[in-house]
Amino acid sequence: MTSAIPPFSADIPPATPLLPVAVATPAHSGVGALLSYASAAPLPPGTLVRVPLGAREVLGVVWDAPEQPLTLPDGRAPRAIAGVLEGIAPLGSSWRRLVEFAARYYQRALGEVALAALPPQLRDLRPEQLARRLRRAATAPPAAPGAIESVAYSPEQARAIAEIDQENGPFLLFGSTGSGKTEVYLHCIARALAADPTAQALVLVPEINLTPQLEARVRARFAPVYGDAALVTLHSGMTPPQRLKSWLAAHTGAARIVLGTRMAVFASFARLALIVVDEEHDASYKQQEGARYHARDLALWRGREEGAKVILGSATPSLESWHASRPATADDPQGGRYRRLYMPSRIGAGALPRVRLVDLGQQPPKAVFAPALLAAITERVQRGEQCLVLLNRRGFAPVLHCHACGWKSDCPHCSAHQVFHKADRSLRCHHCGYASRVPRACPSCGNPDIAPIGRGTEQLEEHLARLLRNVIVEPAGRAARVARIDADTTRAKGALEEQLAQVHAGEVDVLVGTQMVAKGHDFRRITLVAAVQPDGALFSSDFRAPERLFALLMQAGGRAGRDAHYVAAQGGEPPEMWVQTWHPDHPVYAALRRHDWPAFAAQQLDERREAGMPPFAYQALVRADARAQETAQAFLTAAADAARAAQLPGLELVHLFPPVPLAVQRVAGVERAQMLLESPSRAALQAFLAAWQALLHAERPRHKGLVRWLMDVDPQAI
């Protein structure tokens, strides 16, 4: 509950101490990182309080006192802390250090990062409501007696486990899809919890849709020993009460295991002993709004600071992690900072899918599926096996087009097309959300013959259902069923879990989906995966595009043939991955055919070394949003000129590129421009960015029409 503290007034002696408090101040307000408030009672750092800010009362965190005593400017009267959130222990020093590092490194206000990491309900609950939440959190059911089931590990799993048990790490667990990485995680969690009755483990997954499947597996393993309440989840899809309950369980130590998405890296723990980052390469770990932190990198920093072991796992590691885990050689006796652990074989002697490249230049014109691929899908479905068709574009078609006058379904607010969704006959912009009805005729010339261009998952689902309508699934003797899983079909609460359950139960024969079904899922009956249109990423201006494409295709192919016993029972036909491409000789596909991530990574790292790109250099983006593109670019140019004129620290090692529009230049009526900064020295780049903040703040009022500016340190998309 919130206890009242006597307000600071003339009755309180002038010597009443001032406390530094972190609060979420408006962005670019120029308000300091910490504000000073008077308190008649001493409060330890980490105490949650309510404080006045302007005309409002907001949540704050008492912070560590600076070396110099706090003072207020002449003529400024101090304001008093309004109350303390009683019943919640102060946030620990390790959590405060994490927040300070994240704010400093990602160039954001300390209060913004600290308050964003706390459950929103802490800001809104009345004292009596908070007291009820705390009472419920304190009356968790006791753990049921039992023991963790024993598991027979493969030789590769046993070797990885032995190294993790004996060494400090951090570790990069490089295991092929289906090699049993999750079992290694579970063993390490069990070991950590058994070694210390207060120990806690944090398991990060890239996306919400992966949480239920992993949660069920973790709960089945640990609930018999530690009870159901010992495992909690933390992700943005939870309701505010659910999120507060999980946060309190982690903060008090009642939760022994926390499973969550990137936001969970900021959870408050009583005693963190182990951090697992599954699918560590995934771009979803990078926050794209507010403080643009990378959860994987913060997990590594937090593990080092708190003495917790950190395990990064992936079948297609990020090139940054791959380089950081390089073994020592004669030319590089130090090697990388991580220990690389190999698990190249699938559990149960299962075979990785055979990759077959289909040259679209040799196929019938306008064919969506090559005849050989359609025949392979039909054959698999007839035997009762499942197929996965991957197309990373939702909707029916990317654009509607009038062939008479050239009109396209452009979004009126963005420099992008409205996507045609046939199911509800709508045009929707996937950038700003603007939606409209499909016109009966061309709005420009009246031509009634407007047609879709390109394909999305909705169109593929419809097309496949038509092609397979006469296919009978044996031995069930029923017609083949095609289903789709993407962001459109999973909007309703519980829809994703229901659809995944249908796939696992064998009620779906062909699953059409985007990248959300291409990674992490353990589909036991899928034996064929087909990627329909993957070529777009081959010629992207973003230097990370080939890495992301290779990872996506390899992860998608990994959904096939995961159950060796099932494959054998079906007749032993090897699992397959088909890739339809106009460029079958491209090096990305050549490496994919060999399932050779190390060779692909080596080639990519050689190119980046020669070009001076990450991980051999460090980058930051400064973005400006304005009513006009000229205003956005003028602001960035002026800020760069001011930095050069001031000879900011680190400038001699930082290269500032000219400002350019973003790939999608206008979103929701706002023009966007960006400036790339690059340096061979992380320290020089950080020193420059910290010193540049004041100049950026000073430059902003000079550019009428500028909406906002922001920094993105270590950007993942350019």
Summarize the annotated binding site for Zn(2+) as residue ranges.
Answer: 402, 405, 411, 414, 429, 432, 442, 445
Confirm if 243 and 121 have CB atoms less than 8 A apart: yes
Which stretch of DSSP H or E encloses residue 678?
strand 670-679
**Helix, strand, or coil (residue 57):** strand
Omega within 30 of 0 (cis) for the link into 44: no
Q: What is 546-588 written as a DSSP string? A: HHHHHHHHHHHHTTTT--HHHHHHTT-PPPEEEEEES-TT-HH
Other beta carbons within 10 angstroms of residue 360's beta carbon come to 16
End-to-end CA distance of the chain: 46
Other beta carbons within 10 angstroms of residue 342's beta carbon come to 15
Confirm if 629 and 689 have CB atoms less than 8 A apart: no
Question: Nearest 5 degrees, angle CA 570-CA 576-CA 579?
Answer: 155
CA atoms within a 13 Å half-sphere pointing along the CA-CB vector of 502: 15
Taking the C-alpha atoms of residue 111 and residue 709, their distance in angstroms, rounded to an integer, is 18
* Residue length of the chain: 718
Binding-site annotation: residue ranges: 402, 405, 411, 414, 429, 432, 442, 445
Q: Which two tokens stand for residue 164?
A: 């993790």
For the packed helices 495-504 and 211-226, what is the interaxial angle rounded to 10 degrees? Answer: 80
Other beta carbons within 10 angstroms of residue 550's beta carbon come to 22
Kindly state the greatest CA–CA separation across the chain. 89
Q: 343 has which bridge partners?
A: 175
Q: What is 644-676 written as a DSSP string? A: HHHT-TTGGG-EEPPPEEEEEEEETTEEEEEEE
